[in-house]
Amino acid sequence: MDNDDHYQDLIAANAPCGALAIDYPHGHVIAPHRHPHAQLLYAIEGVLCVETADGRWVVPPTRGVWLQPEVEHQVRMRGDVKMRTVFINTPELPNLPQQSCVLDIPPLLRELIVSAVGLGLGAQLAPDSRAWHLLRLLVLELRTVPVLPLYLPLPADAGLRAICEDLMREPDQLVTVEQLAARLDIATRTFHRRFLSGTGMRFGHWRQQARLLLALEQLARGDKVIDVALAHGYTSQSAFAAMFRKHFGSVPSRFFSNGSLPGH
């Protein structure tokens, strides 16, 4: 799927959507690319890390990334990934999410995606056939699922972006806001104002979000919770587990088995 734009031409013109299944090993990277159709990226196993110019989404099982048409993106695999992709035909878009985001994938939607994969991409569908209704129901279900907080925005400002990328490389850094502001030769208040303007998030919230989402990537590989906690700036496993549960609604050791998020 490193260059799968040709799949778009295989979606039947009269089909609401089309789906396919591809499995990838841990560490595989799909190079930056874009699609003329909206796309849902979903992994039934493993974690997807989807990166765009504006930020990144970390997507564990039972979640999916909704990408708007023509959004350039790169995908990295954490753990062995079983990916399912749904392409949406243009007439369906007005009532679907208007921004790229992470969506919950409840059991019914999951089964519809699996069934859609079984139909293939190119079959011409009779307007009132079972296959047409199945794909139509898939699209209707996409309109009802909640957006989830698994996005990490990145600022356009070069100085702030460099700081964010540095913190993402070494999330256990104990550097203070005062030190970061001094690195840019600006006042602390100015740093906070620019960061909020550039990301829509306060810096402390962003750093917490970054650590938790990066931690998801390591947990997907099967790393020990204590090792993940210390690598991401937490002083103990219990402190990490408490913050993880507050944010995701599940303790780290159970997250990939029960797929919990706040409200689920």
Is residue 72 domain-shared with residue 129, that is, in the same domain? Answer: yes
Q: Which two tokens stand for residue 9?
A: 């031409």
Cβ–Cβ under 8 Å, residues 218 and 60: no
Cβ–Cβ under 8 Å, residues 50 and 41: yes
In-domain check, residue 233: yes
- Overall domain count for the chain: 2
In-domain check, residue 26: yes
Is residue 91 domain-shared with residue 194, that is, in the same domain? Answer: no
Is residue 112 domain-shared with residue 138, that is, in the same domain? Answer: yes
In-domain check, residue 4: no
Is residue 106 domain-shared with residue 174, that is, in the same domain? Answer: no
Backbone φ, ψ for residue 37 (5° rounding):
-105, 155
Is residue 139 domain-shared with residue 46, that is, in the same domain? Answer: yes
Is residue 181 domain-shared with residue 250, that is, in the same domain? Answer: yes
In-domain check, residue 262: no
Which parts of the chain are beta strand (E)? 17-24, 29-33, 38-52, 55-59, 63-67, 73-88, 101-104, 147-148, 151-153
What's the predicted TM-score (pTM) here? 0.73
Each of the 264 residues of the chain gets a pLDDT tens digit; together they read 444 444 555 677 778 898 999 999 999 999 999 888 899 999 888 888 899 988 888 888 778 999 999 999 999 998 889 999 999 988 888 888 888 888 889 999 999 999 999 887 766 777 788 989 999 999 999 998 888 777 888 999 999 999 999 998 888 888 999 999 999 999 999 999 999 999 999 999 999 888 888 887 778 777 788 888 888 888 888 888 888 888 777 788 777 654 433 333
Question: In whole angstroms, what is the distance from residue 125 CA to residue 130 CA?
Answer: 9
Is residue 125 domain-shared with residue 195, that is, in the same domain? Answer: no
The pLDDT value given to residue 79: 84
Given 118, 148, 178, which residue is the final one in a domain?
148
Question: In whole angstroms, what is the distance from residue 208 CA to residue 171 CA?
Answer: 9
Is residue 40 domain-shared with residue 118, that is, in the same domain? Answer: yes
Cβ–Cβ under 8 Å, residues 40 and 65: yes
Backbone φ, ψ for residue 84 (5° rounding):
-125, 130
* Containing structural domain, residue 118: 17-148
CATH number at residue 182: 1.10.10.60
